Structure 1
Amino acid sequence: MFSDDDAAAMYDILNPWGPGRPREEGFYLPLIMAAESVLDVGCGTGAMLRVARERGHRGRLTGLDPDRAALRRARARADVTWVEGIAADAERGAGHDLVTMTGHAFQDLVTDEDVRGSLAAIHAALRPGGRFAFETRHPQARAWETWTRTNPADEVAFSDGNGRDLRYWHEVDSVDGDVVAFHGTVAAPDGRVLRVLTETVRFLDVPALNALLAAAGFTIEGQYGDWERGPITASSREIITVARRAGRADTAERARTIVG
């Protein structure tokens, strides 16, 4: 068997926060440490918020995720609030200074309805002027074309917490416009399949993404093509965004622009 708890533990092994992801940490952690109240949407096993506590964050930290197995691991840290739910379930009026959405979790919002509902809840969970920081893969890089066992870099061999030697790889099932469905396979060294994990993600381009953010009441504070805050270029693989919940002045200006 390869249980939900095993899958959550595997995620931590294959996607370690901190030393394993120094560029992402270098981007997000300063934002978190400067914010008194933070909501991490799609927090998974809570690694980023655990690191923030370990680095001395003394404010309010909340993690939100629909994966019960991941939250069971996260709840080993009791000085963070862990909530089961999706982005659209974010608490309205919570007054957070910062909402984050890391690990390309934003791409799990595969319809405009999903995005609008999630952005509305995130907007309402922020204080006026609060920030929403997240990243999504730039569609121009066509990352899904590398999600195949024929790509040696995609297949990973590792040992899990139970001492089992395992292998993990991806295969794409379909590409429909900007939506890609794929699955990940967990197997024993002899090829025996233990678990298949399916996922569907969306690749929004910059104009479509920014239009949805503007319609939800956000202004773009910064948008980058890499973790060092370089500009988005024709070779960028990421769209890394810091958006701000617009205040009354921003809303009025946007209304004047539309009318004009």
Structure 2
Amino acid sequence: MTEPTDSVFSDADVAELYDVLNPWNSGGFRADAAFYDPRILAAASVLDVGCGTGSALKAARAAGHTGRLVGIDPDVAALERARRCDEVAWVEGRAADVGRWPGAFELAVMTGNAFQCLIEDDDVRASLAAVRTALCPGGRFAFETRHPQARAWQDWPIGVTRAQLPDGRVLHVTYQIDAIVGDVVHVAEITASPGVDAAPDRVLRVDRMPLRFLDVPKLNGFLAGAGFAIGQQHGGWVGEPLSPQSTMIVTVARRL
């Protein structure tokens, strides 16, 4: 597949496709939703860092959360979808910007492996410092990142994901690995229209993204340096201990 030559799949289309491929599905099959939902509902004030289309906070409000809910993300098209729910405050910005709300939240979350979008050491430090500032004393920061030992990227180029948008368009989504530099994996997500009568798929869009795979010692070093203590840290969504078989690093850190 080659790069598309025209813009036939917009940023808004990408945001809609994300929701189709990643339904939050509270109470359903998503283990991450089952992990985050009760923690969000139990906190009087919640900040979703890298909220995307806002699924987690919209689900919390629909489930009866009556406190302050704020989502922040740099993706304008994703926020446009999030803003269809006007019962949550949606803000354009990055993780390093959340220090604008000092001491305002009991809980901050970063779902969907969004933590892996913090690439440079300075990005990680600035983002964690800002999250700590946004939390009240003793506040919690819950997030996950893929464990590098599982080498999840090796499976991403295998197979095609079929998706259908609400308007009936059928799409094929595939992935390729462009490069691996240190602990950063450069991934291309390729969205295509299926070919007809054995014709090749027509590429509509290629989105390239770097993802950082921090190991446990380096991750915990960043957290300690930012003024966090590890409250819980697991190798999966239901409390599995970290082990050589862990595919995830699921962390709840406490502001000191």
- Give the TM-score category using the shorter length: over 0.9
- CA gap of 1:122–1:21, structure 2 versus 1, over 3 A, is farther
Provide the residue aligned with 1:32 in structure 2.
Answer: 40
- Choose the corresponding residue for 2:167, options 158, 162, 169: 162
Tell me, yes or no, if the aligned pair for 2:53 and 2:78 is still in contact at 8 Å. yes
* Cα separation, 2, equivalents of 1:22 and 1:205: 24
Provide the residue aligned with 1:203 in structure 2.
Answer: 213
- Choose the corresponding residue for 2:190, options 182, 185, 205: 185
* Cα separation, 1, equivalents of 2:102 and 2:76: 25
How many Å apart are 1:21 and its aligned residue?
Answer: 4.8
Provide the residue aligned with 2:198 in structure 1.
Answer: none
Aligned residues: 242
One-letter amino acid of the counterpart of residue 33, structure 1: L
| 1:27-60 deviation digits (Å, cap 9, x = unpaired) | 1111101100000001000011010011110000
Q: TM-score, normalised by structure 2?
A: 0.93
Matched, 1:78 2:83: no
- Choose the corresponding residue for 2:156, options 139, 147, 156: 147
- CA gap of 1:218–1:207, structure 2 versus 1, over 3 A, is same
Provide the residue aligned with 1:231 in structure 2.
Answer: 241
- Choose the corresponding residue for 1:110, options 111, 119, 126: 119
| 1:75-102 deviation digits (Å, cap 9, x = unpaired) | 0111100000000010241420000000
Identity %: 54
How many Å apart are 1:147 and its aligned residue?
Answer: 1.4
Runs of 4+ in 1 over 3 A off after TM superposition: none
Q: Secondary structure at the match of 1:100?
A: strand
Matched, 1:245 2:245: no
Tell me, yes or no, if the aligned pair for 2:108 and 2:135 is still in contact at 8 Å. yes
Matched, 1:129 2:100: no
Runs of 5+ unmatched residues, structure 1: 247-260
How many Å apart are 1:130 and its aligned residue?
Answer: 0.1
Matched, 1:214 2:224: yes
* Cα separation, 1, equivalents of 2:214 and 2:30: 25
One-letter amino acid of the counterpart of residue 43, structure 1: C
- Choose the corresponding residue for 1:18, options 25, 35, 39: 25
Q: Secondary structure at the match of 2:53?
A: coil
Tell me, yes or no, if the aligned pair for 2:103 and 2:137 is still in contact at 8 Å. no
* Cα separation, 2, equivalents of 1:21 and 1:217: 34
* Cα separation, 2, equivalents of 1:58 and 1:245: 24
| 1:164-223 deviation digits (Å, cap 9, x = unpaired) | 111001100000110010110000111000011111010000000000000000000000
* Cα separation, 1, equivalents of 2:202 and 2:245: 38
One-letter amino acid of the counterpart of residue 173, structure 1: D
Matched, 1:119 2:119: no
* Cα separation, 2, equivalents of 1:50 and 1:232: 31
**Structure showing the higher helix proportion among its residues:** 1
* Cα separation, 2, equivalents of 1:92 and 1:22: 30
| 1:123-164 deviation digits (Å, cap 9, x = unpaired) | 00000000000000000000011111xx23xx2111112211
Provide the residue aligned with 2:9 in structure 1.
Answer: 2
* Cα separation, 2, equivalents of 1:42 and 1:192: 31
Q: Secondary structure at the match of 2:211?
A: strand
Q: TM-score, normalised by structure 1?
A: 0.91
How many Å apart are 1:67 and its aligned residue?
Answer: 0.4
Higher deviation after alignment, 84-93 or 7-16: 84-93
* Cα separation, 2, equivalents of 1:13 and 1:125: 31
One-letter amino acid of the counterpart of residue 165, structure 1: V
